[in-house]
Amino acid sequence: MSTSFFRLDTPKYATDHESDRRNTVWVARPFVRLPAATCDVCGTWSSSKKLRVDVPQALIAELGTFPGMQEPLPWEEWQRRRAEWATALNIAPEQLKPSTKLGPPYGKVQRKTKEDVIHASPGYVWVQERVKKAIEQAGFRGVGLVEVIVDKKKECPQLWELVVEGHGFRPGHTAESLRDCQQCGRQIFPNPEDLTVDVSRWDGSDFFDLDGNPNMIFVTERVRDLFVREGFSNCAFYPIPQADGSK
């Protein structure tokens, strides 16, 4: 059975003031963050990667909590340390990238909110309890829900981050073609205006990213229909095209 795809994003706000008024909880500094890396070929770089995993105390002590300006590590050193960090976190080393944010999401409350959906920053979509329950009851694939730790609990309802676990690619793109540096593996996301889904390489998830870009969230029409039917506020669904990958 065919499906349609949408980008989950903000409504079209009339002004920046309206955007700030409706998205009243912002992303705070990460609990723990890995250092950036410096490559001899492409220079110093960071990623937008975030992993909502438990961080052992030994790693917290090593990296520090709520880090400020960390010194980047030379790529060879970063790569060596990555193996140690991955072992401590019990994950594959390939899951870690320079400046990966680890641990729970943190939110800074600006003022009270009534919105069901909060767009705290690109790729950070936080929802209220009733949205969380609807997602769980629907049994959507490709999404986890992690509680947001906010600085003013009395002024903010419980919020949950949508953690996207599904994946897809755009036509003509592969992990290798997105590799911009052969030395360190730094990747790029060329032509962000082209958001076509290669259906033949979509993993079937209801929530997914494209080409590994964590700053955009894509969903199936099942998700769109639920959010519209329930009348969840402060979100919009923009149709994106699809291809079968054969052309």
Average of pLDDT values for 113-117? Answer: 94
pLDDT at site 66: 61
What confidence score (pLDDT) does residue 159 get? 97
Q: With a cut of 80, say whether residue 92 has pLDDT above it.
A: yes
Contact criterion met (CB below 8 Å) for 19 and 10? yes
How far apart, in whole angstroms, are the C-alpha atoms of residue 147 and residue 116?
15
Dihedral (Cα; 69, 161, 139, 135), 10-degree rounding: -160
CA distance 161 to 205: 17
The secondary structure element, H or E, covering residue 129 is helix 129-138
pLDDT digits (tens, 9 = 90+) for 46-68: 999 999 999 999 999 888 766 55
Report whether 244 contacts 15 (CB < 8 A): no
Could you tell me the pTM of the whole model? 0.93
When comparing pLDDT for 112 and 205, which is higher? 205
Distance between terminal CA atoms of the chain? 21
Structural domain boundaries in the chain: 1-29+105-247, 32-102
pLDDT at 64: 79
- Per-chain mean pLDDT for the chain: 93
- CB contact at 8 A, 226 and 138: yes
Element (H, E) at 64: none
- Rounded mean pLDDT, 116-134: 97
pLDDT at 237 over 90: yes
Angle between helices 129-138 and 221-230 (to 10 degrees): 140
Average pLDDT estimate for 6-21: 96
pLDDT band at 247 (very low <50, low <70, confident <90, very high): very low
Average pLDDT over residues 187-202: 91
How far is Cα 152 from Cα 145, in angstroms, rounded to an integer? 20
Give the pLDDT confidence score for residue 244 in this predicted structure: 80
Q: What angle do CA 247, 220, 100 make, to 5 degrees?
A: 90
